[in-house]
Amino acid sequence: MVHTEIQEKNGRKYYYRVKSVREREKVRKERIYLGVNLRREELKMKEKGADKKLNIFDVLLTEDEEKFLGQIKRDFSREPKENYENRYEVFCSLFAYDSTGIEGNTMTFSETSHLLFDGIVPRAKSLREVHEVLNHKKAFDYMLEYSGDLTGQFVLNLHTLVVANTLREDLVPQVGRYRNVQVFVGRSVPPKPFEVPKKMATLLRWYSKNKKILHPVVLASYFHTEFEKIHPFVDGNGRVGRLLMNFILHKNKYPMINIPKKRKFKYYEVLQSAQYKGNLGSFVRYLISILKKDMLRF
């Protein structure tokens, strides 16, 4: 519940917009200061702005979107077990093809699928590209078999699997560890190396705090956009981040989402809009648009 609280001091009225959040047996309050001695019109305008901040996650999904996602989850639970292996092979191939392709891998979908499930190594492709695809499947399989929750060690384990045998020799000590060097992403400058462990710990605490409160698609979206903003590794951030996003969906019994590399520029656009403009809704709607279009559910 959101309401306006007024505190009087020395004949002046101080206004606060307050949101009460119940956490098990306790109620926690979030406050945003609105101003002092506000006129009615000014107060309403301030309240509206504060509500957007306090309810950022509550207002992301429309009623129709919630119904659609609910139907998706119900339909997914009825997928036949008889075609599980078929769905697994196709999704695993698509996910590896697109997720590595977004990062520059040049293998075709056919080459990716034949490598992963027939053991056929494509000609004229570098060992790095081959390892990137094989590693993606290893990380994907590890994620499917993992029965625990999202932890820092789980994130580091995924990174170890994703980048094995793909980094320059001088970067090998960075495998499975948060980076100790500054990296750059286009014009964006991710946090300094010494800030990364603290920011990752904060993000993981946020996840633990909100995993039973937020809709899984919103939860996965925010975690992914913040993870990519932190950019905790020297390489492999995109692939690990998309695996983690799908881990959250999978754990909550939603079908996983494969971001096509042919739509990567739209992906970058909504990702940056969420990270730097506070527009998480654009990223959420982008994921929903993929779910609406794709027939494959895994």
Just list the catalytic residues: 231
- Residues 117 and 140 sit within 8 Å (Cβ to Cβ): no
CA–chain centroid gap for 256, Å, is 12
Amino acid at 144: L
Report d(CA 282, CA 60) in Å as an integer: 9
Strand partners, 29: 20
In 136-289, DSSP assigns E strands to: none
Instruction: Please give the Cα distance from 223 to 220 (Å, whole number).
Output: 5
Cβ–Cβ under 8 Å, residues 189 and 266: no
Cβ atoms of 46 and 55 closer than 8 Å: no
* Of 94, 81, 39, 66, the residue nearest 257 (C-alpha): 94
Does residue 131 contact residue 167 with C-beta atoms inside 8 Å?
A: no
* Cβ contact 93:116 at 8 Å: yes
